[in-house]
Amino acid sequence: MKYRCLVLDHDDTVVKSTPEIHYPSFVEAMKILRPHSKPLSLEAFVSYCFNPGFLSLCKDIMKFSDAEQTRQYEIWKSFTQTKTPDFYAGFPELIKEYKKLGGIICVVSHSESEQIMRDYMLNCKFTPDLIFGWELDECQRKPNPYPLLEIMAKFNLDKHEMLVVDDLKPGLDMARSCHIPFAAAGWSHIIPEIRDFMKENSDYYFETVDSLSQFLFF
């Protein structure tokens, strides 16, 4: 294998969660919190999550108060608890083969660890070696370097022994902050501007899960 450790994003990298969970839950929250506002399209929602990021979408663009952010979180939580997103085709096999060969699987995500563990157990029959989820303090979530520094320390890894795989800019920024190789998960991109940005700025860009697998194992 080219890398001892894969640092995987979860949403829209490993699982199809934005169209199945995150976007529908946000539309539902907007119906309650901003009933007179025009709902965001899926494309607009993804664009905002790309830049400036979901937290800024809530705080700076939608101007949610603290109470409204809490309500939005409760609605999102109810969606995550009742709906399990599908893995992208080929990803369970990739992850299981990587573990079989002795690789380390870590997840750095803006989903919560509870849901990530559930998704891995359902699809892979094991949980990642380390998870950094939304339940952490804001300063410990990506794009902050904290997760990567912790992973390197815990598993005694050098930067060149790790590969970050993510579909959006926060993962790219996190990898760059630690000078760790970055691969873009192009199979989830639906917006040309995001695809073009990630192609231009990533070390590697993969159109399919199979092409990532070929890169890792051969």
* Cα–chain center distance at 33: 26
- pLDDT of 1 strictly over 90: no
Per-residue buried b or exposed e for 34-61, using 16+ beta carbons within 10 Å of the residue's own CB: eeeeeebebeebbbbbbeebbeebbeee
All structural domains of the chain with their residue ranges: 5-16+86-217, 17-82
Q: What is the DSSP string of 146-182?
A: HHHHHHHHHHT--GGGEEEEESSHHHHHHHHHTT--E
Report the candidate in 207, 195, 174, 194 with the shortest Cα–Cα distance to residue 108: 174
- The rounded mean pLDDT for the chain is 95
Q: What's the pLDDT at 52?
A: 85
| Region 180-191 average pLDDT | 95
Per-residue buried b or exposed e for 6-21, using 16+ beta carbons within 10 Å of the residue's own CB: bbbbbbbbbbbbbebb
Burial class (CB in 10 A: 0-12, 13-18, 19+), 193: exposed
127-178 tens-digit pLDDT: 999 999 999 999 999 999 999 999 999 999 999 999 999 999 999 999 999 9
Q: What's the pLDDT at 35?
A: 94
- pLDDT of 218 strictly over 90: no
How confident is residue 53, by pLDDT bands cut at 50, 70 and 90? confident
How confident is residue 211, by pLDDT bands cut at 50, 70 and 90? very high
- pLDDT of 3 strictly over 90: yes
- pLDDT of 54 strictly over 90: no
Quick one: 5-16+86-217 is in which CATH superfamily? HAD superfamily/HAD-like (3.40.50.1000)
